[in-house]
């Protein structure tokens, strides 16, 4: 089932039309194409007027190749259904492998897990890569300190954009690493 759209969400809240509503979408999650950088902004014209001005001066033009690939992806829904099926499979396999060793919460819509890690998130990511050749992103890199705290600190983001087999292999490596790191931190009696 497709995710809830902004207009449907607005209607559920008793709103009609576009006032104060802006929606942004991209091919990143929809088509599992995070590097393509193709998306849209739609909604309240008075808000988007400023966005269009910003985009005019700060945006980057897409090459013809990227534009043609984008058109093909936006016009095809079959691959979207298949991507959703594959994400469900990847998330389930990864969860079953990793969750006992590194607690996970299944997101409602994403192509990554956020996992709380013991200690420093940057050190965890660096040590994980050194030991397993699996790359995760420290949460503190994706947020900034505000009011004395960095909300991403102590978390890593684990993207599941590869194949099901690769996601499962990464899950095995992460779980093994997390168990070994936890055992090393636990004092013997």
Q: What is the pLDDT of residue 186?
A: 59
Work out the pLDDT band at 124, boundaries 50, 70, 90.
very high
Q: pLDDT tens, 26-44?
A: 998 789 887 888 888 888 9
Span 2-9, mean pLDDT? 78
Domains of the chain: 6-74 (no CATH), 78-185 (3.90.1150.10)
Q: pLDDT tens, 41-100?
A: 888 999 999 888 887 777 677 889 999 999 999 999 999 999 989 999 999 999 999 998
What is the rounded CA–CA span in Å between residue 160 and residue 120? Answer: 22
In the chain the beta strands, taken as DSSP E runs, fall at: 22-26, 39-43, 112-116, 137-138, 155-159
Q: pLDDT tens, 128-165?
A: 999 999 999 999 999 888 899 999 999 999 999 889 99
Which tokens is 75 given? 């016009």
Residue of 44, 11, 177 whose CA lies nearest to 98? 177
Higher pLDDT, 9 or 174: 174
Count of CB atoms within 10 A of residue 88's CB?
10
Q: What is the pLDDT of residue 25?
A: 87
């Amino acid at each position: 089932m497709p995710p809830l759209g902004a207009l449907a969400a607005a209607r559920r809240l008793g709103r009609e039309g576009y006032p104060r509503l802006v929606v942004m979408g991209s091919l990143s999650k929809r088509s599992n194409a995070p590097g393509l950088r193709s998306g849209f902004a739609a909604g309240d014209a008075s808000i988007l007027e400023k966005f269009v001005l910003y985009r005019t001066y700060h945006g980057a033009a897409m090459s013809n190749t990227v534009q043609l690939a984008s058109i093909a992806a936006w016009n095809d829904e079959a691959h979207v259904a298949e991507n959703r099926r594959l994400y469900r499979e990847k998330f389930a396999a990864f969860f079953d492998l990793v969750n006992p060793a590194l607690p996970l919460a299944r997101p409602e819509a994403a192509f990554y897990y956020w996992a709380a890690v013991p200690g420093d998130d940057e050190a965890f990511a660096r040590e994980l890569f050194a030991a397993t050749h699996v790359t995760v992103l420290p949460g503190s890199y994706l947020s900034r300190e505000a009011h004395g705290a960095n909300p991403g600190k102590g978390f890593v983001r684990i993207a599941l954009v590869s194949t099901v087999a690769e996601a499962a292999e990464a899950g095995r490596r992460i779980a093994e690493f997390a168990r070994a790191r936890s055992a090393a931190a636990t004092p013997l009696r």
